[in-house]
A and B are shown apart, each in its own frame.
Chain A
Amino acid sequence: MAQLTNALEATGLRAKPGLMERIDLPRRVVFLAAASMIAIVALLLAFIFWQGIQLFVKDGQPIGAIFDSTWNPLADTPEFGILPFILGTLVVTAGALLISTPLSVGVALFLSEVAPNWAKSVVQPALEIFVGIPSVVWGWLGITVLVPWLSDTFPNKIAISMPLVGQVFSMPGFLTGFSWLAGSLVLSIMVLPTITSVSYDAFRAVPQELRTGSLALGTTRWQTIRHLLIPSALSGVLTAVVLGMTRAAGEALAVQMVIGNSPTLPAAITQPVTTLTSQITLDMGNTVFGEPWQDALWTMSLVLLIISVSSVVLVRLINKRRIGQ
């Protein structure tokens, strides 16, 4: 394009650039608009980092103390162990991914390999509507439908016994329904569109010739999916799961509404747990700026930020490997 412009200028077909054109104001303006995102990220990292280390710098808590399992900000000697929140976030997210990944990859395969056009043209918009449903609405559905159902259906101890061996597994029933499982179930639906759409793109990116070749060898469609599509699209599916994980770990309100918010280490899927996001949401409004309790909440948001930035790096690594192959 530049060569063309130069050629036109040389032949006099195009006027020499004037002052305004040489300064190229539009270019500068649109650059600033795009670069503003760098400024936002830099400021966000700086502020959250600074606030997040106050617990150690100003309040003199040893860094190791946050990995303690006791959270008691109101005691005479307050304890700010945030391990219950970190573990809570991890287990609730893991539960959501365990439920959501097979389902989402199934929907993605359905859309890319199986669905006739009419089915595609209703399932895809349905997924887009899922993305748009606000998290408070998911949380409210959790409270009014899922939580009562869980506590009504499994109120008693759940135990599995086998002949000869005896009882192999047991856990308490749902007392109230507010639980780890409720959180994971709500999240699994919330991350379904994310995992589905990214895996769908990965499956669509597999060249059609490979499918045709495989089918021409006499394989069934399922054999093609299992032995060709899933291995070829694996890095894309992994990216999808990491993105789903990020969304699940960062989701605040829907989770807070259904997990019961008990600051103890996760024990069973039927029991209340808590997460980083839900504790921040609950406590931030009740604390005063600068007090150790609030500083601990900022430390928790720093942990969240570290989780999310590392997932961006992880996604980049996964994709770099794919390009390198």
Chain B
Amino acid sequence: MTATARPAPGRSMAPRPSLRSKTSRGSILADRVATVALWATGMFVLVLLGSIIVHFAVAAWGVVSPSFLLSDPSGETLGGIMPVLWNSIYMLVLTMLIAVPVGILGGIYMSEYAPDNALTGAIRFAEESISSVPSIVVGLFGLILFVDNAHWGFTALAGALALTFFNLPLMTRLAEQALRAVPQDERSASLALGATKWQTIRHVVVPLAIPGLITGVILTAGRVFGEAAVLLFTSGLGTPPHYNFTNFDLTSPVSPWSPFRPATTLSVYIYKLNSEGLGAFKNQIVDGSAAVLISMVLLFNLGARFVGRLLTRRMTAS
């Protein structure tokens, strides 16, 4: 939903009252009612979002604190969410390490190379299909492929790969859009200077598309961060152990740095706490965790806007 530079909507073009004498009173009344109703739907969205933010701000008041973010979960006291928050960030980085390069390269193909043939059509169909497959089914695919058939068990890597499958179409499409937005003249000028097609892509098209690419990366990251259904049966939903951050053994099943260990993320943790329904502080912990998730979503969204705008200004000014 990008803002389009078009003439102002119909309102400004409405005929002057004197010319409108033929329009019946009934239809003018209907127009007024419809205008009010349409405004009401738009304002409903704002009021709903506002109430959600206020609700969580109130619910998380007194729960979210530095110690909540930085300590281990505890049975008797409020405890904290450090390990699951760490896992969320870890899974995000691991997923983006795979999804961003593949997505951008795929976007380059779709924008710069893809001929109008059946194979390109098949890629587009695949892209749309994965986008429409329910996240839980993608999670089950990860379960059967990595956890069962490859005998990895519940691992961060299995979760990250399943998340990559799920988000690759989004990343590819956003990258393609960003690259397509680069004016054709830039390509022609570069080719006319004798650059090869790949040199043109690498040194002209991709740099010009960077603002759009970064926005795409941040939007994808926002979706990866909150996803839970894909991860339930791939990276697991156990209670994370106390992490020893000085253990850098990347093959260890307990090191927080290792991709070969179960990794319950913040979203999965909310689901787990809710379905187990235990613990005196359950509601506070879930409210606090949900508030942290929503804050991250807000950050990702504002970040995407801010960075995109900043880079566009920088790059167009230079």
Which of A's residues lie within 8 Å of B, judged by CB? 1, 4-5, 8, 13-15, 17, 21, 24, 26-27, 29-38, 40-41, 43-44, 47-48, 51, 103, 106-107, 109-115, 119-137, 139-141, 143-145, 189, 192, 197, 200-201, 204, 208, 211-212, 215-216, 218-225, 243, 246, 249-253, 257, 277, 280-282, 284-285, 289, 298, 301, 304-305, 308-309, 311-312, 315
Most A C-beta atoms less than 10 A away, residue of B41, B169, B225, B294:
B41
Do most interface residues of chain A lie in helix, strand or loop, or is the interface mixed?
helix
Bits for B120-159, please: 1 = Cβ < 8 Å to A, else 0. 0011011111101111111011011100100000000000
Query: Do the beta carbons of A123 and B46 come within 8 Å of each other?
Result: yes
Query: Do the beta carbons of B294 and A37 come within 8 Å of each other?
Result: no
Which of B's residues lie within 8 Å of A, judged by CB? 1, 3-4, 6-7, 9-11, 13-15, 19-20, 22-23, 27-28, 30-31, 33-35, 37-42, 44-46, 48-49, 52, 55, 59, 101-103, 105-110, 112-114, 119, 122-123, 125-130, 132-138, 140-141, 143-145, 148, 165, 168-169, 172, 187-188, 191-192, 194, 196-198, 201, 222-223, 225-229, 232-233, 237, 267-268, 270-271, 274-275, 283, 286-287, 290, 293-294, 297-298, 300-301, 305
Could you pull out 25 A-B pairs where Cβ atoms are within 8 angstroms? A4-B191, A4-B192, A30-B105, A30-B108, A33-B102, A34-B106, A34-B107, A34-B123, A38-B126, A115-B9, A121-B3, A134-B227, A134-B293, A137-B226, A140-B287, A143-B274, A215-B14, A218-B22, A219-B23, A221-B31, A222-B30, A223-B30, A243-B132, A249-B134, A281-B229
Query: Do the beta carbons of B297 and A132 come within 8 Å of each other?
Result: yes
Given contacts A33-B105, A37-B168, A135-B229, 17 further A-B contacts (CB under 8 A): A14-B194, A33-B109, A36-B102, A36-B168, A37-B106, A37-B127, A133-B52, A133-B297, A134-B227, A135-B228, A137-B290, A223-B31, A243-B132, A250-B134, A252-B229, A253-B229, A308-B129
Q: Which residues of B lie under 8 Å from residue A243 when comparing CB positions?
A: 132
Q: B4, B38, B123: which contacts A37 (Cβ < 8 A)? A: B123
Query: Do the beta carbons of A136 and B132 come within 8 Å of each other?
Result: no
Do most interface residues of chain B lie in helix, strand or loop, or is the interface mixed?
helix
Q: How many A-B residue pairs have CB under 8 A?
A: 301
Beyond A132-B226, A134-B267, A250-B135, is A225–B45 a contact (Cβ under 8 Å)? no
Beyond A37-B123, A134-B228, A212-B13, is A305–B301 a contact (Cβ under 8 Å)? no
In the bound complex, CA of A21 to CA of B195 (Å): 12
Which residue of B is nearest A281, CB measured?
Answer: B136
Most B C-beta atoms less than 10 A away, residue of A38, A115, A128, A140:
A140
Q: From residue A219, how far is it (CB to closest CB) to chain B in Å?
A: 7
Q: Which residues of A lie under 8 Å from residue B119 when comparing CB positions?
A: 35
Q: Which residues of A lie under 8 Å from residue B125 when comparing CB positions?
A: 312
In the bound complex, CA of A183 to CA of B15 (Å): 46
Q: Which residues of A lie under 8 Å from residue B293 when comparing CB positions?
A: 133-134, 136-137
In the bound complex, CA of A282 to CA of B286 (Å): 19
In the bound complex, CA of A4 to CA of B197 (Å): 12
Which residue of A is nearest B145, CB measured?
Answer: A47
Q: Which residues of A lie under 8 Å from residue B38 when comparing CB positions?
A: 106, 109-110, 113-114
Q: Which residues of B lie under 8 Å from residue A128 when comparing CB positions?
A: 1, 301
In the bound complex, CA of A251 to CA of B230 (Å): 11
Which residue of A is nearest B201, CB measured?
Answer: A26
Query: Do the beta carbons of B301 and A125 come within 8 Å of each other?
Result: yes
Most A C-beta atoms less than 10 A away, residue of B103, B133, B196, B297:
B133
